[in-house]
Structure 1
Amino acid sequence: MGGTPRNSIGHILPGAGFLAVGLWHLFNHIRLFSLRPDAYVAPVWFPAPGVRHLELILVIVGSAVEFAMEMFVDHSTFLPFDADGSIPSDRLHNHEHAIICLALLVYAGSALHLDRVRARCRDAISLLLVAVVFAQELLVFHFHSTDHAGFEGQFHWLLQLVVAACLATALLGIGFPRSFAVSLVRSACITFHGVWLMVIGAMVWVPSRVPKGCSLVEEDGRDTVRCHSKASLHRAKALANLQFGWYLSFMTVFVVALYLYVCKRYPEEAAYVRVPEASEQEEQLQERKCGGGEDVHGFTPLEIEV
């Protein structure tokens, strides 16, 4: 076998996207909390210098490109359907991956529009859309049409644990918008989600990294790893579990180190209150009603500076 670059890249590139967003959120949540712990309210996304909606624009572009790749590119025909309008059996997994991209497009596009029109409860609604993305992903990977069995299946089962953690923290963030712990864990889970997707792409479909006693074979028009005995399968699954544990430990140490560095780099600012205008007061009241948060120590949420 010469390797399966499409399968490998198809996991590594989306993984890099989740990793970038997760790191961006990790840094900014810690920075925002370190500067103003009493006024901390968790944003769903962070504006970038010069281009406010850059994060959302990049999510839209990346999701659209991946959607097009899954539906139209790298197949014998560019049409995702048969002549009678049905979905070919060998394209089911592409359609399943594409609906995850579609959920990301809906989230990013809606969040951008909600911010531009300054809709009430926009943070709570945007975070609910984030939860929909992870719920869609969890549904797809749990009931995948592809037989993720054996070594490959173990990696995808562990991926479901990460996605479930992302979903849980997204839902918790709606009810607890002032909880730094929830935001920190959610950002760390999104970062680890990206790391693990990249690990799957590198370890499952690169022949040189296939565990001893297993090999990369073609079945039903796709490449997968099959082990030659029960002992080799058991060893391969154990190696996947060990990798998950090692990466999780490294991720934990990284988050703690980043937290200490950012808090040292951005010490707490002197407490002050900017008296909001009447329209801002009403908007802040509505946001607190939507998120379930309450003002603490008389501070009002402050504008994020990046």
Structure 2
Amino acid sequence: MGSFSGHVIPGSLILFLGLWNLRCSVISFLTSPRAFVARVWHPVPLPGHWARLQLYAVVGGGFAYMVSEFVHLFMLSRVQLNSYEHLSTNVAFVVAYSVLLVHASTKLLPFPRGTPQVIVAFPFTCAAVMFLFHSTAHHGPIEARYHLFIVPIAAATVLSLLLSAAFPTSFLLDILANVGVFLQGAWYWVTAAALYGYMQPPHCRTSPTEPDYKLVCEGDKWDHLGISLVYVHFAFLFSATVVALVGCYALAAQSAPSSSIDFILDSDAVPDGSSPCGLFAGAAAAASAVVHPWTSKGFAAEGAEVDKSGGEAIAMAAAILDVEGEEEASLLGGKDHQVKASV
């Protein structure tokens, strides 16, 4: 995998996997929010077995890449076992999605809800562990950071998948898992361009004499520059992913029928015609009126001028206090009458 194509080919497969799942999840949620259920794969609108094209693509693409790497290693480089570490991750993907393919095609594996998410979490766990302890990740400060940035992304993906298995109707957990998959594929592309392509740091080149074509810089100054670029690349990719996701969701929401959006919007948390400041002012004035009954009418008059909702709350508190005052006065009057009669 220590080449441009070795990062781009698996990265493209993971990238399109995340994109397809993101698209289908957003459309499924906006079409019927209350019936939404998280899925790790989505049928393609094609007849027959072609509806499972996503599973065929992952299994076939992963197996083809695994075979090509094995033949390359068998013919040219038997002793560099570090490349077999990448093959182990491909094997995990092929095995996991092959199980899903058997589950979707036959009745041999009747899984309960949430099991596919746990199965897909398996290869991403392998990827996180492999990149954390990758033998090639410590051959240079720049390569080490490009490899280690995969670890938190894969770990977040695994956590989102496991939580999605426990809460399959959560749209946000499904989106987080798919964003993690997309980020991993995109980061493969960034790593390929930065280590072997046109995005190499200034005064840094891959050396064919170094193990696994280590990226060598001309001095410590350029090493520090390359390390800084790693963080810049990740921050830019993360921000661009969030902006693109929000934009795509907005476009999908505009094209979705308004009748299907039956979930509670965030803007509907505060009722129309009342502001949070007004509600707070009304509640505070009502509390003050309860503590100091002699100021209730003054607060009611002032609150009505400030805010309608606050005025209503104050007026209600004042009315309650007036009623209580009248009842208390009538009771006291009755007691005085009884005392005079007894005298």
Return the TM-score normalized by structure 1: 0.78
TM-aligned CA deviation for residue 219 of structure 1 = 4.2
- Give the whole-Å Cα distance in 2 for the aligned partners of 1:41 and 1:169: 14
Which has the bigger relative contact order, CA under 8 A and spacing at least 6? Answer: 1
* Pair 1:35-2:25 in alignment: no
Large movers: runs of 4+ above 6 Å: none
Structure 2-normalised TM-score?
0.70
How far, CA to CA, are the matches of 1:219 and 1:94 in structure 2? 17
Decide whether the 8 Å contact of 2:2 with 2:212 is kept in 1. no
Q: In structure 1, the residue corresponding to 2:214 is in which secondary structure?
A: strand
User: Corresponding residue for 1:59?
Assistant: 58
Secondary structure at the aligned position of 1:41 is classed as coil
The one-character-per-residue Cα deviations of 1:205-257 (angstroms, maximum 9, x if unpaired) are: 12x53212322213454212122322221111111101110111111000000
**Percent of paired sites with the same residue:** 25
The equivalent residue for 1:69 is: 68
State the Cα distance separating 1:123 from its structure 2 match: 4.6
Q: Check 1:42–1:148 CA distance in 2 against 1; reply closer, same or farther (3 A cut).
A: farther
Is the aligned partner of 1:8 residue 2:7? no
Change (3 A) 1:122 1:104: farther
Query: Which residue matches 2:86?
Result: 97
Q: Does 1:264 align with 2:263?
A: no
Which residue, 13, 16, 21 being the options, matches 1:17? 13
Whether 1:78 aligns to 2:75 is yes
SS of residue in 2 equivalent to 1:209: coil
CA distance in 2: counterparts of 1:25 and 1:156, whole angstroms: 25
Q: Which residue of 2 aligns with 1:150?
A: 141
Give the Cα separation in 2 of the matches to 1:142 and 1:61.
27
Larger proportion of helix: 2
Partner of 1:174, secondary structure, is helix
Question: What are the equivalent positions in structure 2 for 1:123-134 lying under 5 Å apart?
Answer: 123-134=113-124
CA RMSD in angstroms, aligned pairs only: 2.2
**Which has the higher Rg, Structure 1 or Structure 2?**
2
SS of the equivalent of 1:226 reads: strand
Distance 1:213 1:78, change over 3 A: closer
CA distance in 1, matches of 2:40, 2:204: 43
Per-residue CA distance 1:22-48 (angstroms, 9 max, x = gap):
111111101111011111111121011
| Contact residue 38 and residue 169 of structure 2 kept, 8 A | yes
Is there any run of 5+ residues in structure 2 with no aligned partner, and where? 262-343
Deviation at 1:80, TM superposition (A): 7.7
- Structure 1 gaps of 5+ residues are 82-87, 272-306
Task: Judge conservation of contact 1:205–1:224 (CA < 8 Å) in 2.
Answer: no
Give the partner amino acid of 1:212. P
Q: Structure 1, residues 116-169: CA drift from partner, whole Å, max 9, x if none?
A: 234433552221111110110111111112234211111111122211221111
Count of aligned positions: 257
**SS state at 2:207 partner:** strand
What SS does structure 2 have at the residue aligned with 1:45?
coil
Deviations 1:159-214 (A, max 9, x none): 222112211111111111111000111111111111110111111112x5321232
1:1-306, aligned counterparts within 5 Å? 7-50=3-46, 51-73=50-72, 75=73, 77-78=74-75, 88=79, 90=80, 92-118=81-107, 119-146=109-136, 147-206=138-197, 208-267=198-257
